[in-house]
Structure 1
Protein backbone atom coordinates (compact mmCIF):
# COMPACT_ATOMS: atom_id res chain seq x y z
CA UNK A 1 0.00 0.00 0.00
CA UNK A 2 1.40 3.38 -0.99
CA UNK A 3 1.30 6.29 1.41
CA UNK A 4 0.23 9.71 0.14
CA UNK A 5 0.67 12.94 2.07
CA UNK A 6 -2.03 15.51 1.23
CA UNK A 7 -1.36 19.09 2.33
CA UNK A 8 -4.70 20.85 1.87
CA UNK A 9 -6.57 23.34 4.06
CA UNK A 10 -10.08 22.54 2.80
CA UNK A 11 -11.53 19.70 4.91
CA UNK A 12 -14.11 18.81 2.23
CA UNK A 13 -11.38 18.34 -0.38
CA UNK A 14 -9.36 16.22 2.05
CA UNK A 15 -12.42 14.07 2.76
CA UNK A 16 -13.00 13.50 -0.97
CA UNK A 17 -9.35 12.61 -1.56
CA UNK A 18 -9.25 10.25 1.43
CA UNK A 19 -12.41 8.45 0.32
CA UNK A 20 -11.40 8.27 -3.32
CA UNK A 21 -7.76 7.28 -2.99
CA UNK A 22 -8.39 5.15 0.06
CA UNK A 23 -10.81 3.11 -2.02
CA UNK A 24 -8.01 2.70 -4.59
CA UNK A 25 -5.72 1.20 -1.98
CA UNK A 26 -3.72 4.25 -0.89
CA UNK A 27 -3.12 5.33 2.70
CA UNK A 28 -3.86 9.08 2.78
CA UNK A 29 -2.19 11.19 5.48
CA UNK A 30 -3.71 14.70 5.72
CA UNK A 31 -2.14 17.98 6.85
CA UNK A 32 -4.06 21.26 6.98
CA UNK A 33 -1.22 23.80 6.66
CA UNK A 34 2.25 24.03 5.16
CA UNK A 35 4.25 23.87 8.36
CA UNK A 36 2.33 20.83 9.65
CA UNK A 37 2.73 19.24 6.24
CA UNK A 38 6.52 19.59 6.35
CA UNK A 39 6.61 18.06 9.81
CA UNK A 40 4.49 15.13 8.61
CA UNK A 41 6.76 14.76 5.58
CA UNK A 42 9.74 14.08 7.83
CA UNK A 43 7.75 11.74 10.08
CA UNK A 44 5.92 9.74 7.41
CA UNK A 45 8.33 9.71 4.45
CA UNK A 46 5.41 9.30 1.99
CA UNK A 47 5.56 7.78 -1.48
CA UNK A 48 4.03 10.90 -3.06
CA UNK A 49 2.74 14.35 -2.13
CA UNK A 50 -0.46 16.13 -3.16
CA UNK A 51 0.02 19.83 -2.44
CA UNK A 52 -2.31 22.82 -2.42
CA UNK A 53 -0.83 26.27 -3.07
CA UNK A 54 -3.08 28.57 -1.04
CA UNK A 55 -2.14 27.22 2.39
CA UNK A 56 -2.08 29.00 5.76
CA UNK A 57 1.08 29.48 7.83
CA UNK A 58 3.37 28.51 4.93
CA UNK A 59 2.13 28.55 1.34
CA UNK A 60 2.51 25.76 -1.18
CA UNK A 61 5.35 27.44 -3.07
CA UNK A 62 7.44 27.53 0.11
CA UNK A 63 6.59 23.90 0.86
CA UNK A 64 7.51 22.83 -2.67
CA UNK A 65 10.84 24.64 -2.39
CA UNK A 66 11.63 22.98 0.95
CA UNK A 67 10.68 19.51 -0.30
CA UNK A 68 12.83 19.85 -3.41
CA UNK A 69 15.76 20.78 -1.18
CA UNK A 70 15.69 17.31 0.37
CA UNK A 71 13.93 14.87 -1.94
CA UNK A 72 12.85 13.90 -5.44
CA UNK A 73 9.49 12.79 -4.03
CA UNK A 74 6.72 12.74 -6.69
CA UNK A 75 4.59 15.86 -6.23
CA UNK A 76 1.21 16.81 -7.66
CA UNK A 77 -0.03 20.36 -7.19
CA UNK A 78 -3.78 20.46 -6.62
CA UNK A 79 -5.07 24.04 -6.66
CA UNK A 80 -7.75 26.41 -7.83
CA UNK A 81 -5.17 28.53 -9.65
CA UNK A 82 -5.57 27.58 -13.28
CA UNK A 83 -3.60 30.33 -15.02
CA UNK A 84 -0.95 29.09 -17.42
CA UNK A 85 1.73 31.14 -15.67
CA UNK A 86 0.94 29.36 -12.39
CA UNK A 87 1.12 25.93 -14.03
CA UNK A 88 4.45 26.76 -15.63
CA UNK A 89 5.78 28.10 -12.34
CA UNK A 90 4.73 24.92 -10.53
CA UNK A 91 6.26 22.54 -13.04
CA UNK A 92 9.49 24.52 -13.25
CA UNK A 93 9.72 24.65 -9.47
CA UNK A 94 9.78 20.86 -9.33
CA UNK A 95 6.19 19.59 -9.37
CA UNK A 96 5.57 16.49 -11.47
CA UNK A 97 1.91 17.24 -12.23
CA UNK A 98 -0.57 20.10 -11.85
CA UNK A 99 -4.32 19.56 -11.46
CA UNK A 100 -6.80 22.43 -11.23
CA UNK A 101 -9.87 22.44 -8.96
CA UNK A 102 -12.64 21.55 -9.41
CA UNK A 103 -11.45 18.16 -10.60
CA UNK A 104 -13.29 14.99 -11.52
CA UNK A 105 -12.80 11.97 -9.30
CA UNK A 106 -11.79 9.86 -12.28
CA UNK A 107 -9.14 12.33 -13.39
CA UNK A 108 -7.62 12.64 -9.91
CA UNK A 109 -7.42 8.86 -9.57
CA UNK A 110 -5.89 8.45 -13.02
CA UNK A 111 -3.31 11.18 -12.46
CA UNK A 112 -2.26 9.78 -9.07
CA UNK A 113 -1.92 6.30 -10.57
CA UNK A 114 0.19 7.71 -13.41
CA UNK A 115 2.31 9.64 -10.90
CA UNK A 116 2.95 6.48 -8.90
CA UNK A 117 3.80 4.47 -12.03
CA UNK A 118 6.41 7.02 -13.08
CA UNK A 119 7.88 7.27 -9.61
CA UNK A 120 10.59 5.05 -8.28
CA UNK A 121 11.68 4.98 -4.68
CA UNK A 122 12.08 8.58 -3.57
CA UNK A 123 15.57 9.57 -2.53
CA UNK A 124 16.09 11.85 0.44
CA UNK A 125 18.99 14.18 1.10
CA UNK A 126 17.74 15.65 4.32
CA UNK A 127 20.49 14.20 6.50
CA UNK A 128 23.01 16.55 8.02
CA UNK A 129 26.09 17.27 5.92
CA UNK A 130 29.18 17.86 8.04
CA UNK A 131 32.73 17.76 6.69
CA UNK A 132 34.41 19.57 9.57
CA UNK A 133 34.23 22.93 7.85
CA UNK A 134 30.64 23.21 6.62
CA UNK A 135 27.68 21.83 8.54
CA UNK A 136 24.37 22.01 6.66
CA UNK A 137 21.01 20.86 8.03
CA UNK A 138 18.30 20.88 5.30
CA UNK A 139 15.45 20.16 7.72
CA UNK A 140 16.07 23.42 9.61
CA UNK A 141 17.91 25.19 6.79
CA UNK A 142 20.75 26.03 9.12
CA UNK A 143 24.35 26.44 7.98
CA UNK A 144 27.51 26.68 10.07
CA UNK A 145 30.96 27.41 8.67
CA UNK A 146 33.90 26.74 10.98
CA UNK A 147 31.40 26.64 13.85
CA UNK A 148 29.88 30.03 13.03
CA UNK A 149 26.20 30.40 12.13
CA UNK A 150 25.76 31.69 8.57
CA UNK A 151 22.49 33.18 7.36
CA UNK A 152 21.76 32.48 3.69
CA UNK A 153 18.95 33.44 1.35
CA UNK A 154 16.84 30.53 -0.01
CA UNK A 155 18.73 30.64 -3.32
CA UNK A 156 22.12 30.72 -1.59
CA UNK A 157 21.08 27.79 0.58
CA UNK A 158 20.02 25.75 -2.46
CA UNK A 159 23.28 26.64 -4.19
CA UNK A 160 25.42 25.52 -1.26
CA UNK A 161 23.30 22.41 -0.69
CA UNK A 162 23.67 21.46 -4.35
CA UNK A 163 27.43 21.99 -4.33
CA UNK A 164 28.13 20.03 -1.13
CA UNK A 165 25.88 17.14 -2.18
CA UNK A 166 28.01 16.92 -5.34
CA UNK A 167 31.30 17.47 -3.48
CA UNK A 168 34.31 17.04 -5.74
CA UNK A 169 32.16 17.10 -8.88
CA UNK A 170 32.34 20.02 -11.29
CA UNK A 171 28.90 21.45 -12.06
CA UNK A 172 28.48 23.67 -15.10
CA UNK A 173 26.60 26.98 -14.89
CA UNK A 174 23.77 25.39 -16.92
CA UNK A 175 23.51 22.52 -14.42
CA UNK A 176 23.46 24.91 -11.48
CA UNK A 177 20.81 27.10 -13.12
CA UNK A 178 18.63 24.01 -13.56
CA UNK A 179 19.22 22.60 -10.07
CA UNK A 180 19.17 25.79 -8.00
CA UNK A 181 16.91 28.38 -9.59
CA UNK A 182 13.17 27.65 -9.62
CA UNK A 183 12.78 29.27 -13.02
CA UNK A 184 16.06 29.45 -14.94
CA UNK A 185 14.39 30.88 -18.06
CA UNK A 186 16.26 33.94 -19.24
CA UNK A 187 18.96 33.64 -16.59
CA UNK A 188 22.53 33.77 -17.86
CA UNK A 189 25.63 31.99 -16.54
CA UNK A 190 26.64 35.37 -15.10
CA UNK A 191 23.83 34.91 -12.56
CA UNK A 192 25.65 31.84 -11.24
CA UNK A 193 28.97 33.67 -11.09
CA UNK A 194 27.61 36.51 -8.95
CA UNK A 195 25.64 34.10 -6.73
CA UNK A 196 28.83 32.13 -6.03
CA UNK A 197 30.68 35.35 -5.17
CA UNK A 198 27.94 36.34 -2.70
CA UNK A 199 27.87 32.87 -1.19
CA UNK A 200 31.63 32.86 -0.62
CA UNK A 201 31.44 36.22 1.14
CA UNK A 202 28.56 35.13 3.37
CA UNK A 203 30.58 32.04 4.30
CA UNK A 204 33.47 34.32 5.33
CA UNK A 205 35.79 33.78 2.38
CA UNK A 206 36.72 37.17 0.94
CA UNK A 207 39.64 35.57 -0.88
CA UNK A 208 38.38 33.06 -3.50
CA UNK A 209 41.62 31.09 -3.12
CA UNK A 210 40.67 30.26 0.48
CA UNK A 211 37.10 29.26 -0.36
CA UNK A 212 36.07 25.59 -0.65
CA UNK A 213 33.94 26.63 -3.64
CA UNK A 214 36.36 26.46 -6.53
CA UNK A 215 35.84 28.02 -9.97
CA UNK A 216 37.05 25.85 -12.85
CA UNK A 217 37.67 28.34 -15.63
CA UNK A 218 35.44 27.70 -18.63
CA UNK A 219 33.87 24.63 -17.00
CA UNK A 220 31.95 25.43 -13.83
CA UNK A 221 32.22 25.19 -10.05
CA UNK A 222 32.92 22.50 -7.50
CA UNK A 223 32.93 22.20 -3.74
CA UNK A 224 36.19 20.88 -2.26
CA UNK A 225 35.78 19.24 1.17
CA UNK A 226 38.53 19.95 3.72
CA UNK A 227 40.11 16.53 3.13
CA UNK A 228 40.77 17.49 -0.49
CA UNK A 229 42.30 20.77 0.61
CA UNK A 230 44.79 19.15 2.97
CA UNK A 231 42.83 20.03 6.08
CA UNK A 232 41.53 17.60 8.65
CA UNK A 233 37.88 16.90 8.02
CA UNK A 234 35.21 14.36 8.79
CA UNK A 235 33.02 12.49 6.31
CA UNK A 236 29.38 13.15 5.63
CA UNK A 237 27.23 12.33 8.61
CA UNK A 238 24.60 10.75 6.38
CA UNK A 239 24.82 7.04 5.77
CA UNK A 240 22.84 7.52 2.56
CA UNK A 241 25.26 9.79 0.74
Structure 2
Protein backbone atom coordinates (compact mmCIF):
# COMPACT_ATOMS: atom_id res chain seq x y z
CA UNK A 1 0.00 0.00 0.00
CA UNK A 2 1.31 3.45 -0.94
CA UNK A 3 1.97 5.59 2.17
CA UNK A 4 -0.27 8.64 2.43
CA UNK A 5 1.28 11.94 3.54
CA UNK A 6 -0.54 15.01 4.84
CA UNK A 7 1.07 18.42 4.23
CA UNK A 8 -0.16 21.30 6.41
CA UNK A 9 1.35 24.43 4.82
CA UNK A 10 -0.11 27.81 3.79
CA UNK A 11 2.58 28.96 1.36
CA UNK A 12 1.39 27.96 -2.13
CA UNK A 13 4.88 27.76 -3.65
CA UNK A 14 6.10 25.49 -0.85
CA UNK A 15 3.05 23.25 -1.26
CA UNK A 16 3.71 22.90 -4.99
CA UNK A 17 7.37 22.01 -4.33
CA UNK A 18 6.54 19.52 -1.58
CA UNK A 19 3.74 17.89 -3.51
CA UNK A 20 5.96 17.40 -6.57
CA UNK A 21 8.85 16.00 -4.52
CA UNK A 22 6.72 13.54 -2.61
CA UNK A 23 4.63 12.40 -5.58
CA UNK A 24 7.82 11.68 -7.52
CA UNK A 25 9.09 9.72 -4.52
CA UNK A 26 6.04 7.47 -4.81
CA UNK A 27 3.79 8.78 -2.03
CA UNK A 28 0.12 9.72 -2.02
CA UNK A 29 -0.22 13.37 -0.94
CA UNK A 30 -3.07 15.40 0.56
CA UNK A 31 -2.65 19.07 1.49
CA UNK A 32 -4.22 21.62 3.83
CA UNK A 33 -3.64 25.38 3.78
CA UNK A 34 -4.56 25.99 7.42
CA UNK A 35 -4.50 24.19 10.74
CA UNK A 36 -8.24 23.61 11.00
CA UNK A 37 -8.36 21.94 7.59
CA UNK A 38 -5.24 20.00 8.51
CA UNK A 39 -6.96 18.50 11.54
CA UNK A 40 -10.08 17.70 9.52
CA UNK A 41 -7.98 15.81 6.98
CA UNK A 42 -5.99 14.13 9.75
CA UNK A 43 -9.18 12.61 11.16
CA UNK A 44 -10.77 11.88 7.77
CA UNK A 45 -7.75 10.53 5.87
CA UNK A 46 -5.66 8.94 8.65
CA UNK A 47 -2.34 9.59 6.88
CA UNK A 48 0.87 7.66 7.51
CA UNK A 49 2.92 10.83 8.15
CA UNK A 50 2.31 14.56 8.52
CA UNK A 51 4.57 17.38 7.29
CA UNK A 52 3.63 20.40 9.42
CA UNK A 53 4.44 24.09 9.25
CA UNK A 54 4.21 25.77 12.66
CA UNK A 55 2.97 29.12 11.32
CA UNK A 56 -0.33 28.45 9.57
CA UNK A 57 -3.69 30.29 9.80
CA UNK A 58 -6.83 29.32 11.72
CA UNK A 59 -5.05 26.97 14.15
CA UNK A 60 -1.28 27.33 14.43
CA UNK A 61 1.03 24.36 14.03
CA UNK A 62 1.64 24.04 17.77
CA UNK A 63 -2.06 23.41 18.39
CA UNK A 64 -2.27 21.04 15.42
CA UNK A 65 0.69 19.08 16.79
CA UNK A 66 -0.84 18.87 20.27
CA UNK A 67 -4.21 17.78 18.89
CA UNK A 68 -2.59 15.23 16.59
CA UNK A 69 -0.78 13.70 19.54
CA UNK A 70 -4.13 13.37 21.32
CA UNK A 71 -5.41 11.00 18.65
CA UNK A 72 -2.48 9.29 16.95
CA UNK A 73 1.18 8.38 17.14
CA UNK A 74 1.77 8.96 13.42
CA UNK A 75 5.22 10.44 12.65
CA UNK A 76 5.29 14.24 12.35
CA UNK A 77 8.00 16.13 10.45
CA UNK A 78 7.94 19.82 11.35
CA UNK A 79 8.97 22.03 8.42
CA UNK A 80 9.37 25.58 9.67
CA UNK A 81 11.05 28.91 9.12
CA UNK A 82 11.56 29.19 12.89
CA UNK A 83 15.30 28.58 13.25
CA UNK A 84 16.04 29.00 16.96
CA UNK A 85 17.01 25.97 19.01
CA UNK A 86 14.21 26.82 21.44
CA UNK A 87 11.65 26.15 18.69
CA UNK A 88 13.26 22.81 17.82
CA UNK A 89 13.32 21.75 21.46
CA UNK A 90 9.71 22.84 22.04
CA UNK A 91 8.48 20.98 18.93
CA UNK A 92 10.34 17.77 19.79
CA UNK A 93 9.08 17.85 23.36
CA UNK A 94 5.54 18.46 22.10
CA UNK A 95 5.69 15.26 20.07
CA UNK A 96 7.34 16.06 16.72
CA UNK A 97 9.57 13.28 15.44
CA UNK A 98 11.87 15.48 13.32
CA UNK A 99 12.43 19.18 12.58
CA UNK A 100 13.65 20.68 9.30
CA UNK A 101 14.25 24.41 8.79
CA UNK A 102 13.22 26.30 5.64
CA UNK A 103 14.65 26.71 3.09
CA UNK A 104 15.19 22.96 2.75
CA UNK A 105 16.86 20.65 0.26
CA UNK A 106 14.38 18.36 -1.47
CA UNK A 107 16.48 15.21 -1.27
CA UNK A 108 17.05 15.72 2.44
CA UNK A 109 13.34 16.12 3.10
CA UNK A 110 12.50 12.94 1.17
CA UNK A 111 15.25 11.06 3.02
CA UNK A 112 13.86 12.21 6.39
CA UNK A 113 10.36 11.10 5.40
CA UNK A 114 11.70 7.70 4.37
CA UNK A 115 13.60 7.35 7.65
CA UNK A 116 10.54 8.23 9.75
CA UNK A 117 8.33 5.76 7.90
CA UNK A 118 10.94 3.01 8.35
CA UNK A 119 11.17 3.61 12.10
CA UNK A 120 7.44 3.56 12.75
CA UNK A 121 5.42 0.37 12.51
CA UNK A 122 1.65 0.15 12.85
CA UNK A 123 0.18 3.51 13.84
CA UNK A 124 -2.30 3.54 16.67
CA UNK A 125 -5.31 5.85 16.43
CA UNK A 126 -7.26 6.80 19.50
CA UNK A 127 -10.59 5.62 18.11
CA UNK A 128 -9.27 2.08 17.89
CA UNK A 129 -9.69 -0.53 20.58
CA UNK A 130 -6.80 -0.86 23.01
CA UNK A 131 -6.60 -4.14 24.85
CA UNK A 132 -9.65 -6.20 25.64
CA UNK A 133 -11.82 -3.65 27.42
CA UNK A 134 -10.66 -0.13 26.45
CA UNK A 135 -11.55 2.11 23.53
CA UNK A 136 -10.61 5.79 23.33
CA UNK A 137 -13.17 8.33 22.05
CA UNK A 138 -11.14 11.50 21.25
CA UNK A 139 -14.00 13.65 19.98
CA UNK A 140 -15.66 13.47 23.42
CA UNK A 141 -12.50 13.28 25.56
CA UNK A 142 -13.83 9.97 26.82
CA UNK A 143 -13.08 6.25 26.93
CA UNK A 144 -15.22 3.16 26.80
CA UNK A 145 -14.09 1.00 29.72
CA UNK A 146 -15.78 -2.40 30.10
CA UNK A 147 -18.56 -1.01 27.88
CA UNK A 148 -19.19 2.08 30.04
CA UNK A 149 -18.38 5.58 28.78
CA UNK A 150 -16.09 7.54 31.09
CA UNK A 151 -15.72 11.30 30.54
CA UNK A 152 -12.22 12.61 31.26
CA UNK A 153 -10.67 16.03 31.72
CA UNK A 154 -8.18 17.18 29.07
CA UNK A 155 -5.30 16.32 31.40
CA UNK A 156 -6.68 12.87 32.22
CA UNK A 157 -7.31 12.10 28.56
CA UNK A 158 -3.83 13.23 27.48
CA UNK A 159 -2.28 11.27 30.35
CA UNK A 160 -4.11 8.06 29.44
CA UNK A 161 -3.42 8.46 25.72
CA UNK A 162 0.31 8.97 26.28
CA UNK A 163 0.41 5.82 28.41
CA UNK A 164 -1.61 3.92 25.78
CA UNK A 165 0.78 5.04 23.02
CA UNK A 166 3.61 3.50 25.04
CA UNK A 167 1.62 0.51 26.29
CA UNK A 168 3.67 -2.12 28.01
CA UNK A 169 6.57 0.33 28.53
CA UNK A 170 7.29 2.55 31.51
CA UNK A 171 6.71 6.28 30.91
CA UNK A 172 8.70 8.31 33.40
CA UNK A 173 7.08 10.91 35.61
CA UNK A 174 9.35 13.54 34.08
CA UNK A 175 8.24 12.64 30.55
CA UNK A 176 4.59 12.76 31.58
CA UNK A 177 5.09 16.21 33.09
CA UNK A 178 6.74 17.45 29.91
CA UNK A 179 4.24 16.02 27.46
CA UNK A 180 0.96 16.32 29.38
CA UNK A 181 1.49 19.43 31.50
CA UNK A 182 4.17 21.20 29.42
CA UNK A 183 6.46 21.24 32.47
CA UNK A 184 9.87 20.98 30.80
CA UNK A 185 11.57 21.33 34.20
CA UNK A 186 10.19 17.96 35.27
CA UNK A 187 9.07 19.26 38.67
CA UNK A 188 5.70 18.82 40.34
CA UNK A 189 5.50 15.04 40.36
CA UNK A 190 2.51 15.17 42.71
CA UNK A 191 0.43 16.44 39.79
CA UNK A 192 1.02 13.14 38.00
CA UNK A 193 0.29 11.12 41.12
CA UNK A 194 -3.06 12.79 41.78
CA UNK A 195 -4.09 12.80 38.11
CA UNK A 196 -3.49 9.02 38.01
CA UNK A 197 -5.56 8.63 41.17
CA UNK A 198 -8.44 10.61 39.62
CA UNK A 199 -8.22 8.57 36.41
CA UNK A 200 -8.25 5.28 38.33
CA UNK A 201 -11.27 6.35 40.39
CA UNK A 202 -13.25 7.18 37.26
CA UNK A 203 -12.41 3.83 35.66
CA UNK A 204 -13.25 1.96 38.86
CA UNK A 205 -16.63 3.72 39.20
CA UNK A 206 -17.49 2.78 35.61
CA UNK A 207 -16.57 -0.91 35.75
CA UNK A 208 -16.78 -1.74 39.42
CA UNK A 209 -14.15 -2.26 42.14
CA UNK A 210 -13.20 -5.73 40.88
CA UNK A 211 -12.27 -4.56 37.37
CA UNK A 212 -8.62 -4.69 36.33
CA UNK A 213 -6.59 -1.48 36.76
CA UNK A 214 -4.71 -0.89 33.47
CA UNK A 215 -2.49 1.90 34.83
CA UNK A 216 0.35 0.51 36.92
CA UNK A 217 2.96 2.38 38.93
CA UNK A 218 6.60 1.36 38.71
CA UNK A 219 8.42 2.38 41.87
CA UNK A 220 10.86 5.23 41.38
CA UNK A 221 10.27 5.48 37.62
CA UNK A 222 6.75 6.29 36.48
CA UNK A 223 3.71 4.51 35.08
CA UNK A 224 2.73 2.11 32.34
CA UNK A 225 -0.43 0.97 30.64
CA UNK A 226 -0.78 -2.82 30.47
CA UNK A 227 -3.52 -4.08 28.14
CA UNK A 228 -5.06 -7.48 28.74
CA UNK A 229 -3.77 -9.54 31.66
CA UNK A 230 -0.02 -9.16 31.15
CA UNK A 231 2.17 -9.39 34.22
CA UNK A 232 3.97 -6.21 35.27
CA UNK A 233 7.02 -7.11 37.30
CA UNK A 234 8.22 -4.36 39.57
CA UNK A 235 4.92 -2.49 39.61
CA UNK A 236 2.57 -1.75 42.41
CA UNK A 237 -1.11 -0.95 42.40
CA UNK A 238 -0.98 2.51 43.99
CA UNK A 239 0.93 5.60 42.76
Pair in the same fold by TM > 0.5? yes
Question: Which runs of structure 2 are paired with 1:43-54 in the superposition (5 Å)?
Answer: 43-54=44-55
Please give the alpha-carbon distance, in whole angstroms, between the structure 2 residues aligned to 1:121 and 1:188: 33
Q: What is the TM-score of this pair, normalised by structure 1?
A: 0.69
Give the aligned partner of residue 159 of structure 2: 159
Q: Which segments of 5 or more consecutive residues in structure 2 lack a partner in the other structure?
A: 227-239
Question: Which runs of structure 2 are paired with 1:12-51 in the superposition (5 Å)?
Answer: 12-51=13-52
Q: Which segments of 5 or more consecutive residues in structure 1 lack a partner in the other structure?
A: 225-241
Please give the alpha-carbon distance, in whole angstroms, between the structure 1 residues aligned to 2:223 and 2:191: 13
Please give the alpha-carbon distance, in whole angstroms, between the structure 2 residues aligned to 1:187 and 1:73: 28
Between the two structures, name the one with larger relative contact order (CA 8 Å, sep ≥ 6).
1
The structure-2 alpha-carbon separation of the partners of 1:56 and 1:180, relative to structure 1 and needing over 3 Å to count, comes to: same
Give the aligned partner of residue 192 of structure 2: 192
The structure-2 alpha-carbon separation of the partners of 1:200 and 1:39, relative to structure 1 and needing over 3 Å to count, comes to: same
Per-residue CA shift, 1:219-241, capped at 9, x if unaligned?
A: 666889xxxxxxxxxxxxxxxxx
Give the aligned partner of residue 142 of structure 1: 141
Cα deviation for residue 135 of structure 1 reads 8.2
* Structure 1 range deviating more: 105-114 or 31-40: 105-114
RMSD: 3.9
Is this contact kept in 2: 1:89–1:183, CA < 8 A?
no
Is this contact kept in 1: 2:4–2:28, CA < 8 A?
yes
Please give the alpha-carbon distance, in whole angstroms, between the structure 2 residues aligned to 1:11 and 1:67: 23
Cα deviation for residue 163 of structure 1 reads 5.9
Please give the alpha-carbon distance, in whole angstroms, between the structure 2 residues aligned to 1:27 and 1:189: 43
Give the aligned partner of residue 228 of structure 1: none
Give the aligned partner of residue 7 of structure 1: 8
Q: What is the TM-score of this pair, normalised by structure 2?
A: 0.70
Please give the alpha-carbon distance, in whole angstroms, between the structure 2 residues aligned to 1:10 and 1:126: 32
The structure-2 alpha-carbon separation of the partners of 1:222 and 1:79, relative to structure 1 and needing over 3 Å to count, comes to: closer
Per-residue CA shift, 1:168-197, capped at 9, x if unaligned?
A: 999763564366345543324223135446
Is this contact kept in 1: 2:7–2:52, CA < 8 A?
yes
Cα deviation for residue 111 of structure 1 reads 2.0
SS in 2 for 1:78: strand
Cα deviation for residue 21 of structure 1 reads 1.3
